[in-house]
Chain A
Amino acid sequence: MKRIIFLLLLAFEFKADLVLEITESASKPIKIAILEKNDNSLAGQEIINVISNDLKRTGEFKVLGMDELLSIPINESEVIQRDWLLMDVDSIIFVEVQNKDNNLDIAYSIFDISYNETEDKRRVLGLPDSLRQSSHYVSDGIYKYFYGIEGISSTKLMYVTRNGDTHKLIISDADGFNEQVLLKSNNSIISPAWSTDAKKIAYVSFENNRAQVFTQNLATGKRNLVLSSKSSVSSPAWSPDNKDLAFTSTKDGNSEIYTINLESKKITRLTENLAIDTEPAWSPDGKNIIFTSDRSASPQIYEINVRSKLKRRLTTEGNYNARASYLDKNEIIFVHRSKTDFNIAKLHLSSRDLEILTSTKNDESPCIAPNGNVIIYSTKDGNLSYLAGVNISSKVSFKLPALYGELKEPAWSPFLR
């Protein structure tokens, strides 16, 4: 127990630089209470605190505070159903900390008030120093139980901060805790991208006075220049199997899309015309790449088959459509402008239904959470950019204001399991 208290104190030292504010909640959030089963331990309270914050941050849960409860049962048999029905509570989550042999495991069960019985029971095996991450796993389990969609509390965010002349590429937990600086530079860093196994990243750095693409191993910090060129190389995108990297380069005189096999270094050129072709993104099956091209005068989204090189234009509405990525094989999201504002939009590829998802003015760099249901993007307030997001199914919106300097270029990690 002594060890746990010490570790918890350390855990409180981690500061969060990303603070999430819900700007619009779900119309009917699910009401729950989270209680520790048969105990009232320090670790238990910290775990419940992390889970509560995770669930509140989704905007889709109302988590009752201890002072709002009519009765506090210490296990399922003590639940007085009518107290909870009166408060319109959907379920009680019982959390039990199991701390032995240097492990810190969390068992949890979901007690449904209307049925007056336990509906789901799960366990997360963890270590004392992974208390926050173990708790995020519980949050994701609870989220999936209620919404049928994978939770994203245990994922990570990558983003770029700028403060004066200092640019940092940072990874943190989805709740902003555990900031890790991956790269610190005096020059711009843009377009960070996770490999699909979350072990490596790629990004564009201007450290040598022009755009170059680097890959970096997260564990070792080892960096590789993807392509040495006198021309700019940018916009990296990992293929789903991580064997290839799509990128943009002007190495043949004009901005074109290429792929490079990271092992053989073989380069394949995909586009060939006098227009700007950039911002490649792979389809989930790796067969197609969507990209931005201004071959029709304004920037629009096109799709190319990597093998046959057959192309088709995907966007027709609006005078600016760029930086697209696949939501799934049938839907894409991108930066869209119809009149004056740049917003994030979603296009259904077969019905051609276009839905504008955001309402601020200069929205860019949209990125999809690995559950396919939350979009994070960067936008501007005055002269400084910050991050904002929207939940596609519940329409919950949130923002992550920069506490100092600028916050931009978000990239959501894949699932880390």
Chain B
Amino acid sequence: MKNILISLFSIFIIFACSSTPIEKVDVQETKTVDLTENSQQMDNKVIMSDVGLGAAYITVLFDYDDDTLKEESLEELFTISRLMKANSKYTLLVEGHADERGTREYNLALSERRAKAVEDFLTATGVSSFNIEVVGYGEEMPVDNSSNETAWSKNRRAELYFIK
């Protein structure tokens, strides 16, 4: 009786008699893991402090399936570079994002490469990579949920946050 409401059934053949093939049914439990109730963290080492507090300092946009920085973004990135070189205590978080087109895993890699392109630019201008954290979110966090070019162009982005 205790198994009424639980129901991962696994079935196996126990024996087959000569005239009538026979299969037998068995039951197995499943458990729910709920992360929303107590926000226990599995791996404290990789949590970033204060992520998502306030708006991004700047947002850099990209073309479809591309991680090349556009000319129009460079001025703002030079400003960030100057700020960071003037104060070596600043730590920058670069979040990469992708639009919804294509596969989720490829977009995750693409979004991380976009964030990396920002990091590479900043380190090339003399910022220490020690002060930059990079993370890819793929297509998981769109700013515009619609399925059209306007939304996609907004979603293909890197967001830069000062976290320290």
Contact = CB atoms under 8 A, between A and B. Distances in A.
A238 to B, nearest CB: 16
Interface string A377-408: 00010110000000000000000000000000
Given A183-B32, A184-B36, A364 B4 contact: no
A362 B106 contact: no
B31 A126 contact: no
Contact of A276 (B1, B5, B14, B113): B113
A342 B101 CA distance: 8
B108 A234 contact: yes
Contacts of A364: 102-104
Interface string B1-21: 101110111111110000111
Contact of A417 (B11, B22, B35): B11
Contacts of A57: none
A198 B106 contact: no
Interface stretch (B55-63, B68-76, B78-86, B135-143): B135-143
A310 to B, nearest CB: 23
B147 interface: yes
Interface string A196-233: 00100000001111111010101111010100111010
A124 interface: yes
A365 B3 CA distance: 33
Contact of B33 (A121, A223, A228): A223
Interface string A11-44: 0000000000000000000000000000000000
Contact of B104 (A191, A209, A214, A294): A191
Interface majority SS (helix, strand, loop, mixed), chain A: strand
A362 B106 CA distance: 14
Nearest to A128: B4
- Interface size bracket, A side: 35 or more
B46 interface: yes
Nearest to A408: B104
A182 B104 contact: no
A154 interface: yes
Interface string A180-202: 11111111101100000010000
B108 to A, nearest CB: 6
Contacts, number: 214
A134 interface: yes
Contacts of A198: 10
A383 B35 contact: no
Given A126-B24, A417-B11, A299 B36 contact: no
A207 B44 CA distance: 11
B76 to A, nearest CB: 24
Given A180-B32, A181-B32, A190 B113 contact: no
A184 B35 contact: yes
Interface string B139-155: 01100011100000000
Interface in B79-125: 100-106, 108-110, 112-113
Contact of B10 (A221, A342, A416): A416
B22 A125 contact: yes
A192 to B, nearest CB: 11
A322 B42 contact: no
Contact of A416 (B11, B14, B19): B11
A177 B119 CA distance: 48
B103 A279 contact: yes
B27 A184 contact: no
Contact of A232 (B19, B27, B30, B136): B136
B45 interface: yes
Contacts of B26: 130
B147 to A, nearest CB: 6
Contact of A206 (B11, B110, B137): B137
Contacts of B19: 121
Contact of A365 (B1, B8, B104): B104
A129 B3 contact: yes
A171 interface: yes
Contacts of B13: 417
Contacts of A186: 35-36, 39
B103 A137 contact: no
Given A126-B25, A133-B11, A137-B25, A276 B103 contact: no
A174 to B, nearest CB: 12
B103 A323 contact: yes
Nearest to B151: A383
A178 B7 contact: yes
Given A322-B102, A383-B145, A183 B35 contact: yes
Nearest to B144: A383
22 contacts: A10-B5, A122-B20, A124-B25, A129-B3, A137-B11, A166-B36, A182-B32, A182-B33, A183-B34, A184-B36, A190-B138, A209-B48, A209-B135, A212-B42, A216-B33, A219-B8, A225-B43, A250-B136, A276-B110, A279-B103, A380-B147, A383-B146
